Structure 1
Amino acid sequence: MRFRRSAAALVAVLALAAVSACNNDKAGQNGDVSLDKVSYLTSFGTFGREAYAYVALEKGYFKDAGFDVTINPGSGTVDVLKLVAGGQADYGIGDFTATVITLAKQKLPVTTVGMIHQRSLAAIVALEGGSIKTPQDLAGKKIGDQPGSTNTVMFPVYAKAAHITGAETKFVPSPPPALPQLLAAGTVDGIGQFVVGVPTVEKADPKRRKAVVLPYGAVLPDLYGNAIITRTDLAKDHPDQVKKFTGALLKGLQDTIDDPKGAATILKKYVPKTDVDVATEELELMKAYVKPDGFDGALGEVDEIRVDKIIKLLEEADQVKPAGTVKPADVVDDALAPKG
């Protein structure tokens, strides 16, 4: 059974794949006509943290589930949501909190069908010896980040929870690959970054200074990290297909946290620019967010009560308004999410 798309959406898919092929960050298609062709967007580039999709591809988990998957690099949650909603990708990865905030403002036809991280990876990262040591130091500082990124979208929520007062923190639009270099050069005081990106940040600094990490999860422990996103029509019309895809992706995730170096080596096969050592460090750090201490649920599990708490938290921070306009069912398809 083929996923249905409009002719315009199909053209967009082909264009996206062509662009990806040019930058050598495309992975997939094995050409088996018996498989459903599916396009997938990473959350943000092809860093080590994205290796689990390539592991699922390399080990045949997608093929075994009936899919011929093409992996393309995403450019942040908001863009991923829009591309999935517009039919330019069937699945994507985006930060869950940023997803809720975005869907509260734009009624995009997307839903969440599983979690990659049971804890948020979002953080502001600086370097030792700089002007940022605590959350309160962020007032009046310049933070480099990709417009629409998770860290930028979520910052007002973090600032309220961390009681950051004083001059407004300024976010400076910056291309993602350049963020570590901008920080090392002192062009910005800090950067929006996932906590697993610390090895990359430290390696980019010629002085080899240690990173100062201000994780959003330290003051917002209920937040999820990245979530698996698909279009609502796929979730409604092809629930079995969605479950199979999610299951295959999560098998890749399990293998990745079991063997970070092996996953990093697979990533390098598909993304030659990968530094295996740095990617391995990222994945080692990511383990604690995929399965935190005390978490005994199913990999990818979604707790609807927790989702409701996150929505209420965002309402209190004035990121979802008016209050009561977003319900858990508006952002999560609980019937398709993995269960323990």
Structure 2
Amino acid sequence: MRLRRSVVALTAVLGLALVSACNSGDDKGSDSGLQKVSYLTSFGQFGREAYAYVALEKGYFKDAGFDVKISPGSGTVDVMKQVAGGQADYGIGDFTAIAITLGKQKLPVTTVGMIHQTSMAGIVTLEGKGIKEPKDLEGKAIGDQPGSTNQVMFPVWAKAVGIDDKRVNFIPSPPPALPTLLSTGKVDAIGQFMVGKPLVEKADKEGRKAVMLPFGKALPQLYGNAILTRSDLAKDNPDQVKKFTAALLKGLDDTMKDPAAAAEILKKHVPTTDVGVATQELELMKPYTLPVNSADPLGAVDTARVQKVLDTLVDANQLTKGGLAPGDLVTVDLAPKG
């Protein structure tokens, strides 16, 4: 009997050891041999985020050796904090908002490529609300997620277009509710990427057209969304970062070539997706992804332009002169090159 109990106990210990071995080590999938990686979208699961799901669906991540879990992000600042804290390995955030945030707090994150070569951020309203130009926003209420790209960038844009940002009231609002809040008059305008135009117009029961106030028109030097990762991951595992970035950008390339197919893939993974709206978003997004230099690949980064972004933020009193250098924002050696 004692021998039998000993055998049972030994079997249990060995079983626990085996389970532990399967759940530890280098984050390899227990049955696939792929490296588990977590990724955050920039803002929810709208059509503009479809490229990550395309990379997942078409096996680009798998081919690169990754088992990727995609989760919805809730704005640049939150994505930065989650990546910095190890809750995610990669994420997407607006480059200007990243720079402003790093100027205020030192988070161990870096960017390794651009999704958008031009900023898509801005303010959106509807016809009939008395807002036709930036000056009309003074005294108005804007709905947006705290820490979102649009809210963080607003003072920079306000200075560029000559309005007083302190005369504009931002109302904390969850991303999915923004179009409805605008349509029902709870707010006068919302923070929104310019590709959100079809989403905003579909949500309005009165059929009003969207009025777009893009930040990029006054600030063409600004980049849009960038690929984020932890600084230590970029330093210690550069090959992993390059492979992940290449797979993600391959998904972006396919998405821009066939927005309708990408929207269908997004719906497969996010059932609430409106395929028509998502397709329109992606069609509108294509020009924003194209490098200024046609010889450069998707995702390319220009160090001189990064410095221009920093100079712009210093001029707008959002950064201290000399406080940040391009290398504090971008690991250029890991960015795509032609």
Q: Structures share a fold, TM > 0.5?
A: yes
What amino acid maps onto 2:322 in structure 1? G
Contact 2:117 2:292 in 1 (8 A): no
TM-score (normalised: structure 1): 0.90
Aligned equivalent of 1:237: 236
Contact 1:31 1:68 in 2 (8 A): no
Distance 1:225 1:31 in 2: 37
Note the alpha carbon deviations across 1:55-87, whole angstroms, 9 max, x for none: 000000000001010000000000000000000
Aligned equivalent of 1:18: none
SS in structure 1 of the partner of residue 44 of structure 2: coil
| 1:336 to 2:338 alignment | no
Distance 1:207 1:296, change over 3 A: farther
What amino acid maps onto 1:76 in structure 2? G
Distance 1:167 1:65, change over 3 A: closer
Distance 1:175 1:297, change over 3 A: same
Aligned equivalent of 2:225: 226
Aligned equivalent of 2:171: 172
Contact 1:140 1:166 in 2 (8 A): no
Distance 1:220 1:48 in 2: 25
Contact 1:101 1:319 in 2 (8 A): yes
TM-score (normalised: structure 2): 0.90
Shift of 1:296: 3.7
Percent of aligned positions with the same letter in both sequences?
69
Note the alpha carbon deviations across 1:290-332, whole angstroms, 9 max, x for none: 11676442100000000000001001101112x1010000010
What amino acid maps onto 2:138 in structure 1? A
Distance 2:313 2:116 in 1: 19
Note the alpha carbon deviations across 1:232-258, whole angstroms, 9 max, x for none: 000000000000000000000000000
Please provide the CA RMSD for this pair: 1.8
Distance 1:210 1:198 in 2: 9
Shift of 1:33: 3.6
SS in structure 1 of the partner of residue 328 of structure 2: helix
SS in structure 1 of the partner of residue 122 of structure 2: strand
Aligned equivalent of 2:9: none
Aligned equivalent of 2:191: 192
1:151-300 to structure 2, matched below 5 A, reads 151-165=150-164, 168-291=167-290, 295-300=294-299
1:1-340 to structure 2, matched below 5 A, reads 32-165=31-164, 168-291=167-290, 295-321=294-320, 323-340=321-338
What amino acid maps onto 1:297 in structure 2? D
SS in structure 2 of the partner of residue 230 of structure 1: strand
Structure 1 residues 164-173 or 73-82, which shifts more? 164-173
**Which ranges in structure 2 are unaligned for 5 or more consecutive residues?**
1-22
What amino acid maps onto 2:72 in structure 1? P
Distance 1:207 1:30, change over 3 A: farther
The structure with the larger Rg is: 2
Distance 1:295 1:163, change over 3 A: farther
Shift of 1:145: 0.4
Distance 1:319 1:110 in 2: 19
SS in structure 1 of the partner of residue 98 of structure 2: helix
Distance 1:225 1:134 in 2: 22
